[in-house]
Amino acid sequence: MSVVLSSRDSILEVFDHFRDELDDFHDRRERLIKCSRDVTNLSKKVIFLIHRSLTEGLGQSDERETSLRAVSRAKEKLKDVQNLFAGMREEVAGDRFWRHQRNVSPGLQEYIEALSLAHYLECQTLISYEEVQKSLSDADGTPYFPLPLDDYLLGLSDLTGELMRYAISSISRRGGRSKANEVCIFVRGCRADFEGLTPHFRELRKKQQVTSQSLEKIEDVAYAIAVRSSEYDLPPELLDDIVERTVAEAGFGGGGDDRDQRRRGGRRGGEDEDEDGNYD
Amino acid sequence: MDPQNLEYINQLLDKDVELREKIKDQVTEFDKKTRTLTGLLNKIHSTPPSQVPELVATVTPVLQSCKETTAALAELTPPNQFWRWKDMWSVSLRNAVFSAAFVEYLRSGGLLSLPRAAETLGIKDEWQDRFTLSAEDYLHALITMVNELSRLAVNSVTMGDFEQPLKISTFVKDLFAGFAMLNLKNDALRRRYDSLKYDIKKIEEVVYDVSLRKLAPVQTDNT
């Protein structure tokens, strides 16, 4: 090992080595960013699939059955995403994971959002850190990479927006009002839980605002229902019809716009930069 | 969120916060040392060539003392988490490497290699995943050294040392040729690399002035 390099040739020789090292790093970075994008795309599709499956069953089967069907379809698709993560394993082995964490995190958060939505529909609970980590582990339970706490929380924070869509689009359905109330309480709980953690995560603070907005939207709808139902002393079946009309008038039917707003409001900054791949 | 999960998250969080605090303390120490180093090395601009060895001798113990800090940081960093925390100390580390490389130039006129720089600061190979000197940090340090050398070229002429600018010129050109071999992306290193040409221009002007007035000794092949 040369100690001091005193000729041009010896200097060029070591820089040759640096070039290989830097190229290796940049190439891996590119590959991971691409992979993260694939994960994001697939996860978004899973979320849409869930919403589609939920509205599909309209009126035919009971609520629970519809949810579970959506969940089983989603889980099938989520396996593809998990396989993508498994494929990253080598690239982020050892100390490399933390070097590339920022390149992986947009996809990871989107995946957690999709996973937690499926989990909520199945169990009505917030998926735990350990469960997410387990979904990112091989058959022996060895993680592909450590799950960063901020990605876990930020992914969950996005879940509230999806739940808002779910609550509002199911409100026109039979039994949808109690569902909406359930979701409303759940999202309120999420918001309270996250609030205590915001001092530690700058990104989470921004997302909390979006969560608050989503919550407000659900609350507004719940209010509309409460007001209408107080005017009539009617059985729930008849009320369902009335509510259907209310929702249509309020323009809450689709929910598509809400999603766009959420994206604009919530994702500005961090992720977009990462996705363009030029955050540094 | 179920209480168990929340508690687990808080545990993880507390651990991170605690670790961050500890690392911060060490980085503050590290920073003090590197400031002392750059302070001492700044004297080179008013030190005649004959007194350079003395100046180098005052710097060496401070460089030595950096070993304690690197050891403490390696001890603190959990396995495989080097890249998670390194941003906290990379400025200090780059300054320390700069000092080591500059001292080496003053002593021998050659370039301190990366493994040797790591060794000077007491960074051990077995710390690889906890504390290591990355190529990026090393290269940043070299650019800082070039910045400093362009000043030295000017100031050594002021002190009547006409040979130094010629030595610096050859050395910096070799380094620049090295940097030109890298495929740099649009990052901090790239921007600093782009600034190297101004340092080279400055050095070239000094060389030009000195040779034009026949102040410099006849240049023989540099060794």
Residue of B nearest to A131 (CA): B5
Please tell me which residue, A267 or B147, carries the higher pLDDT value.
Answer: B147
Residue A6 lies in a domain: no
Angle, helices A8-56/A63-88, rounded to nearest 10 degrees: 170
Residue A264's pLDDT band, with cuts at 50, 70 and 90, is very low
pLDDT of residue A169: 82
Residue A205 lies in a domain: yes
Which chain A residues touch B188 with a CB distance below 8 Å? 280
Residue A8 lies in a domain: no
Which range of residues forms the domain containing residue A108? 16-276
- Cα dihedral sign, A228-A179-A53-A83: positive
Residue B102's pLDDT band, with cuts at 50, 70 and 90, is very high
A272 pLDDT higher than 60: no
What is the CATH number for A87?
A: 1.20.58.2140
Interface contact flag, A96 B83, Cβ < 8 Å: yes
Output the CATH code of domain B3-212: 1.20.58.2140
Interface contact flag, B175 A280, Cβ < 8 Å: no
Residue A259 lies in a domain: yes
Residue extents of the structural domains in chain B: 3-212
B18 pLDDT higher than 70: yes
Residue B202's pLDDT band, with cuts at 50, 70 and 90, is very high
Of A228-232, A261-265, B213-217, which one has max mean pLDDT? B213-217
Please tell me which residue, B3 or A99, carries the higher pLDDT value.
Answer: A99
The owner of tokens 């410099």 is B216
Residue A1 lies in a domain: no
Q: pLDDT, tens digit, for every residue of A25-48?
A: 999 999 999 999 999 999 999 999
Residue A199 lies in a domain: yes
Q: pLDDT, tens digit, for every residue of B30-81?
A: 999 999 999 999 999 999 999 999 999 999 999 999 999 999 999 999 999 9
The owner of tokens 């002593």 is B107
What does the block give as tokens for B164? 């130094």
Residue A50 lies in a domain: yes
Which helix or strand (DSSP H or E) is residue A4 part of? strand A4-5
Interface contact flag, A98 B186, Cβ < 8 Å: no
Q: pLDDT, tens digit, for every residue of A202-261?
A: 889 889 999 998 899 888 888 877 777 677 666 666 766 766 677 666 655 444 444 444
Helix (H, G, I), strand (E, B) or coil at B159: coil
- Distance CA(B92)–CA(A149), nearest Å, equals 27
Which chain B residues touch A279 with a CB distance below 8 Å? none
Counted domains in chain A: 1
